[in-house]
């Protein structure tokens, strides 16, 4: 039975690039996103899923395992970003922050919880998208705080799953060339989405005895504080 790789936030950017690389590596790939038009083939599946909804994520994992018999890798990648400030009216209004926090924090948590039974059965791998922004202080940046949360979440899941055989990796990229780049950073050095995808495939391609806990990657020339 062929291995199955589920990617959330797969409609563009890091998710789309990683899904493509996983398919090239021989996986059956589930490309999940809020905007997906449902389409199932022998090796690829475009699946609609809203990671901010526990019921939606649980239904996705159930459908995948039921149809394809297993889940081997889950890449909890879906996320959103809005500009924030705590001392001025710059950026998004506070009422707009909720979707980002729920998507970026609850989304990966829901994804992990829904996928874990299948991953335990397969001895699989959970990968989560963090950020270099989640490793240092970014003034007024709530997005950065959600990525701090992903580092802690990955560690908490790994600690609980230590005897299950499931591996847990958090990938922490610096600035990536996607449509979410702030206007103030359009001229900064950037990673391609495929660069991050290759890091994900590196982690999941290791022997089952190797658990790559964290991967931090930045584009050459990006300062550590950016």
Report the CATH number that the domain containing residue 171 is assigned in CATH. 3.40.50.720
Active site residue 143: yes
| Secondary structure (DSSP) of 47-105 | EE--TT-HHHHHHHHHHHHHHHS---EEEE---------SSSS-SS-GGGHHHHHIIII
Mean pLDDT by 10 residues, the chain (226 residues): 95 97 98 93 94 98 97 97 92 94 98 98 98 91 96 98 97 88 73 98 97 96 74
In a domain, 224, yes or no: no
In a domain, 126, yes or no: yes
Give the active site residue among 143, 144, 175, 196. 143
pLDDT computed for residue 184 by the predictor: 66
In a domain, 166, yes or no: yes
In a domain, 225, yes or no: no
In a domain, 226, yes or no: no
The number of folded domains in the chain is 1
Residues 6+ positions from 184 with CB-CB distance below 8 Å: none
pLDDT computed for residue 172 by the predictor: 97
- Sole residue written with tokens 């609609």: 48
Query: Which range marks the domain in which residue 108 is found?
Result: 4-217
Quote the CA–CA distance of 150 and 158 in Å, as a whole number: 12
In a domain, 222, yes or no: no
> What pTM was computed for the model?
0.94
In a domain, 223, yes or no: no
In a domain, 186, yes or no: yes
Quote the CA–CA distance of 103 and 53 in Å, as a whole number: 9
pLDDT computed for residue 223 by the predictor: 78
């Amino acid at each position: 039975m062929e291995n199955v790789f589920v990617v959330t936030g797969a409609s563009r950017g890091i998710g789309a690039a990683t899904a493509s690389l996983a398919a090239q590596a021989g996986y059956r790939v589930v490309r999940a996103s809020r905007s997906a038009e449902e389409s199932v083939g022998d090796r690829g599946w475009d699946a609609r899923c809203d990671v901010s909804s526990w019921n939606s994520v649980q239904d996705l994992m159930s459908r995948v395992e039921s149809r394809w018999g297993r889940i081997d890798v889950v890449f909890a990648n879906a996320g959103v970003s809005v500009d924030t400030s705590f001392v001025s009216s710059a950026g998004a209004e506070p009422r707009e922050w909720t979707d980002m926090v729920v998507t970026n924090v609850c989304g990966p948590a829901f994804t992990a919880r829904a996928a874990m039974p299948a991953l335990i059965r397969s001895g699989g791998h959970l990968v989560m998208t963090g950020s270099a922004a989640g490793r240092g202080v970014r003034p007024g940046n709530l997005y950065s705080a959600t990525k701090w949360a992903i580092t802690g979440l990955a560690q908490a899941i790994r600690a609980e799953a230590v005897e299950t055989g499931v591996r847990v990796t958090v990938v922490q990229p610096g600035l990536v060339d996607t449509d979410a780049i702030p206007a103030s950073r359009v001229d900064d050095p950037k990673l391609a989405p495929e660069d991050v995808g290759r890091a994900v495939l590196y982690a999941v391609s290791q022997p089952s005895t190797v658990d790559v806990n964290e991967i931090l990657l930045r584009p050459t020339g990006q300062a550590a504080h950016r």
